[in-house]
Amino acid sequence: MRIALQNIHKHYRDVHANDGIQMEIAEGSIHGILGENGAGKSTLMKILAGFVRKSDGTIALNDQPVEYRGPSQATSLGIGMLYQDPLDFPPLTVLENFMVGRCRGISAKENLHRRQLLEWAKALGFHLNPESRVHELTVGERQQLELLRLLALGVEVLILDEPTTGISSIQRRVLFAALKKLSNQKKTILLVSHKLEDAEALCDRLTVLRSGRVAGEMDRPFDTNRLLSWMFGAMPVQAPCSEARPGRATLIMEGVSGSGGRAGLQACTLSVREGEVVGLAGLAGSGQDIFLRLAAGLNRPRKGTIRIGDEIMTGKDH
């Protein structure tokens, strides 16, 4: 499906979120929409997907102007959007979520849909158990399920909003391989991102938005410096790094375990010294929030010792 966005405007009172955007997306292409936060990327894609109504302008699908009032009408025309937080039902099973929107009764044609789910998942390299509850899945698995559900609804245009946020590097590779397969099947893919490495690895063409306007467009091979200047208005200045001179250990956690989340925090040992900036990395639910609450004295550990300087703070408010 070919898409043309012609003079698209969106106003939120005094904010001009989209300001006369012109864009064409070729059938079967993987087209990236780049820009820093607040550039108007998500607003534009929500307009295309029917979640937000445009203030002015025209959307044309295969050269035919269209108007729709909501996402269900957009889906019926072949456009579906996958958000950072998938629009699923966590208490239901994978199969039940896959069937949502297509069946009057959740048990209607269940075996047919189970077979379809497994066949499509296998074709795209996904591994999903139809009987698993969605609340048991990782963010990447929920994303895979929503992608399959949109395909089952017959969409020809897939919009993905920051799809690599919160997923592992392995799930990223699986997702990108699946999107390339779909592109080869003439599905049109729109990737919304502020990550240049994702866009350059996957996309055929890039459109950069800045302050609600198109700052530039480019086909492969991409010029990273030019893309950065379009995104920020100039090449970002790299500030010199000062030499770190860490002092004595001020926060010491030894063999600390705490409850919460899926798996809690297990036997964590870490020391933080004066003058250090320490980052906690990991997917959502990996225990970062539990760690911080334990370190701040808001929660009490099940096991282990917490010290601030030479003072043992385990079990104390601090």
Is 206 part of a structural domain of the chain? Answer: yes
Same domain, 210 and 271: no
| Any domain includes 241 | no
- Do 158 and 187 lie in one domain? The reply is yes
204 and 164 inside one domain: yes
Same domain, 198 and 303: no
* pLDDT given at position 310: 84
Please report, for the domain that includes residue 96, its CATH number: 3.40.50.300
User: From CA 134, how far away is CA 85, in angstroms rounded?
Assistant: 13
Q: Are residues 191 and 256 in the same domain?
A: no
Range(s) of the domain holding residue 269: 249-312
Same domain as 255, residue 227: no
Cβ pair 272, 278 in contact under 8 A = yes
Same domain for 142 and 260, yes or no, is: no
If you average pLDDT over residues 233-262, what whole number do you get? 80
With bands split at pLDDT 50, 70 and 90, how would you rate the model's confidence at 104? low
Residue 237 located in a structural domain: no
In a domain, 155, yes or no: yes
- pLDDT of 246: 82
Does residue 261 sit within a domain? yes
In a domain, 240, yes or no: no
Residues 65 and 194 in one domain: yes
Same domain, residue pair 25 and 105: yes
Final residue before a domain boundary, out of 198, 232, 266 = 232
User: What pLDDT does 302 receive?
Assistant: 87
Indicate whether 180 belongs to any domain: yes
Calculate what percentage of the chain has a pLDDT beyond 70. Answer: 94
Query: Of 183, 207, 232, which closes a domain?
Result: 232
Domain count, the chain: 2
Mind listing the pLDDT tens digit for each residue in 54-85?
A: 999 999 999 999 998 899 999 999 999 998 77
pTM metric for this prediction: 0.77
257 shares a domain with 227: no
- Is 70 exceeded by the pLDDT of residue 317? no
Q: Are residues 227 and 253 in the same domain?
A: no
pLDDT tens digits, residue range 31-62?
Answer: 999 998 889 999 999 999 999 999 999 999 99
With respect to residue 238, please indicate whether it lies within any of the assigned structural domains.
Answer: no
Are both 216 and 300 inside the same structural domain?
Answer: no
What would the mean pLDDT of 271-286 be, rounded to a whole number?
82
